[in-house]
Amino acid sequence: MEKDKLALLEIISRIEGELQNLKELESELNSIKNKKGVIYKRSKGSILHDFYNCCERIFKEIAVELNQSYEETEKWHKTSLYKMTIPIKGIRPRVISEELAADLDEYLAFRHLFRSIYGFELKGDRIDRLAERFESVSKKFVEEMEKFSGYLQEEL
């Protein structure tokens, strides 16, 4: 199946844009990672929330443009993450590894929690654990997105 070159270029551009956004999030988190207090807890929570949004924007773009299957359902977020680990013959290789998907699932769960509670209800241990892992998980995400983007470049 020949992919539309414009669609591939758009996906590549969006991946690059989101990876730039991820660098900004990294910088923001690094500036407050070791700070304590409710304002910093809220700030860290917001950054961790944005991190998963960044990942999911890329997944949604791939689902719409390559997979041509996007359903806005209650379980779409979890299903989309899982689908990114599955290669689709003739369409695309897997987007991310199962290991990365498992790591990202924790950030997805946190994002859901973050959207559902008041900021003062955030528990520091979970935020601190996710903030500590952020650098390694985001690095792995960047590596895998660059690999996938390389695949798209080859398809041009």
Per-residue pLDDT tens digits for 109-147:
999 999 999 988 887 789 999 999 999 999 999 999 999
Instruction: Report DSSP letters for 80-126, one per residue.
Output: HHHHTTS-BTTTB--SS-HHHHHHHHHHHHHHHHHHHS-GGG--HHH
Structure tokens at 47: 């950054």
What average pLDDT does the chain have? Answer: 92
How sure is the predictor about 85, in pLDDT bands with cuts at 50, 70 and 90? very high
- Average confidence (pLDDT) over 10-29: 97
Using DSSP, state whether 72 is helix, strand or coil.
coil
How do the domains of the chain map onto residue ranges? Answer: 5-155
Contact predicate 48/111, CB 8 Å: yes
Contact predicate 52/96, CB 8 Å: no
Contact predicate 38/120, CB 8 Å: yes
Q: Which amino acid is at 60?
A: K
User: What's the predicted TM-score (pTM) here?
Assistant: 0.92
Please tell me the predicted confidence (pLDDT) of residue 77.
Answer: 84
How sure is the predictor about 70, in pLDDT bands with cuts at 50, 70 and 90? low
The CATH number of domain 5-155, selected from 3.10.560, 1.10.10, 2.60.40, 1.20.120: 1.20.120
- Average confidence (pLDDT) over 77-81: 90
How sure is the predictor about 2, in pLDDT bands with cuts at 50, 70 and 90? low
Please tell me the predicted confidence (pLDDT) of residue 1.
Answer: 40
**Side-chain half-sphere exposure of 153, counting CA atoms within 13 A:** 9
Please tell me the predicted confidence (pLDDT) of residue 156.
Answer: 85
Please tell me the predicted confidence (pLDDT) of residue 127.
Answer: 93
